Amino acid sequence: MTPRLDALKGKFVQLKQPTRDAVSDTAQVETTVKEIIANVRKRGDAAVREYSLAFDKADVAKFEVTEDEKLKAVADLDPQTREDTEFAIANVRRFAEAQLGTILPLEIESLPGLHLGHRVIPIETVGCYVPGGRYPLLSAPVMTIVPAKVAGCDQVIACLPPNAHPAMIAGCHLAGADRIFRVGGAQAIAAMAYGTETIPAVDKIVGPGNAFVNEAKRQVFGQVGIDQLAGPSEIFVVADETANAVTIATDLLAQAEHDVRTRVGVVTTDRKLAQDILSEVENQLGTLPTAPVAAVAWKDYGEITVVENEEAMIAYSDHIATEHLQVHTRDPQATAHKLRNYGSIFIGELASVVYSDKCCGTNHTLPTMGAGRYTGGLWVGSYVKIATHQWLDERGVAAVAPAAVRQSATEKLEGHRRAAALRLGPKQLAAE
């Protein structure tokens, strides 16, 4: 038991337990990915082409999508799909612009003559990985590309699997990608990290993907920045006796249909609600077209936990630190303010995760596997650097140099002492 759960010992009971562990249930792909990265780094486009043929069954003659192909992909979009995509783009852009407005440059005079500050600097080149997935996930390029453009990145490139739905190319173009490449999997991450004859090396890679993509991001980190290591999707609901079982079951299954490894769960203070949700999930699976996926996720990773009071419910939720956290309580705003570990929170029964997944404006690229304990999700701040600076006049030197000289001498760092003393004049520089 973790310290959080240990404190709850005897205060909760699981009506339904997960039968598998989504965190450790990952493919052993480290060796394969290491070979892919080394090969792409050494042989560039030729290796990327071979892996595209082997993994995606696609013989790609030319990786980069041409301007004509982009325009055709947009023209071929169903008009309503295009309108909905542009609606999502506008909402994500509006929120990212508002967020960027809170990240301000800084200039202070900390002491007389000592000037400190920072600049907000856009990352020069960003690579956005856009997953193909089981279905065309039209919101995926919006969430990674739009904030990068709002942040002011010089170049935003997108990589997506060669067999991705043509609408995904349209989505990348409408979102503002400067260049689009038909390359997927670990080979795309390797290509963006080290560059090939065709694909430019980037400074940071963002975007979710499968286990191979995730592992590749882990291995290239350091050569480039990454947003995070994302696992399968997650949703938890905190609920009391006022919650609606039908609504909660519907929202759980909406996420469960993403992947057979999706983690879905409820923690509630009301046993009757827990039993009603259990029955309702089984009932809805009987008519859900995506039940072959959702039912497996529910069976393997579904969880319903009953706790004795709100305090225990908050503690249990913070232990889970889920990607998506829905709050269905009598006073959801008050409950939300007590919660601290989550990727994104959905306050009240009218706030469905699906709205954020698709188009409401907040980013759907969020921390999973408990990472909500220490980080938030992808946002416009992920595409800028906060870089500090300082400058001094004689008053500033007089204020800070003596302490720097003494500390350097204490640490027996003579080079440091000399550099600190130099600006105080010859006497101080010569002093032992």
- Residues marked active site are found at 323-324
What are the phi and psi torsion angles at 321 (to 5°)?
A: 50, 55
Q: Which residues of 171-204 are buried (b: 16+ CB within 10 A; e: fewer)?
A: bbbbbbbbbbbbbbbbbbbbbbbbebebbeebbb
Q: Which amino acid is at 270?
A: D
- 402's CB contacts (< 8 A; 6+ apart) are 424
122, burial (CB in 10 Å: exposed 0-12, middle 13-18, buried 19+): middle
Structure tokens belonging to residue 65: 């999508």
Sign, Cα dihedral of 37, 41, 43, 46: positive
Which secondary structure element, helix H or strand E, spans residue 126, and what is its range? strand 125-129
What are the phi and psi torsion angles at 113 (to 5°)?
A: 90, -5
- 313's CB contacts (< 8 A; 6+ apart) are 238, 240, 267, 268, 269, 307
Distance CA(423)–CA(432), nearest Å, equals: 16
Residue 221 per-residue DSSP state: B
Nearest one of 404, 427, 398 to 417, comparing CA atoms: 404
Structure tokens belonging to residue 123: 């990352």
CA 428 to chain centre: 52
What residues pair up with 122 in beta bridges, in sequence order?
384
Distance CA(424)–CA(432), nearest Å, equals: 14
Residue 269 to residues 207, 240, 242, 243, 344, Cα–Cα distance (Å)? 36, 5, 10, 11, 22
Taking 3-state DSSP, the helix, strand and coil percentages for the chain, each rounded to the nearest 5, stand at 45, 20, 35
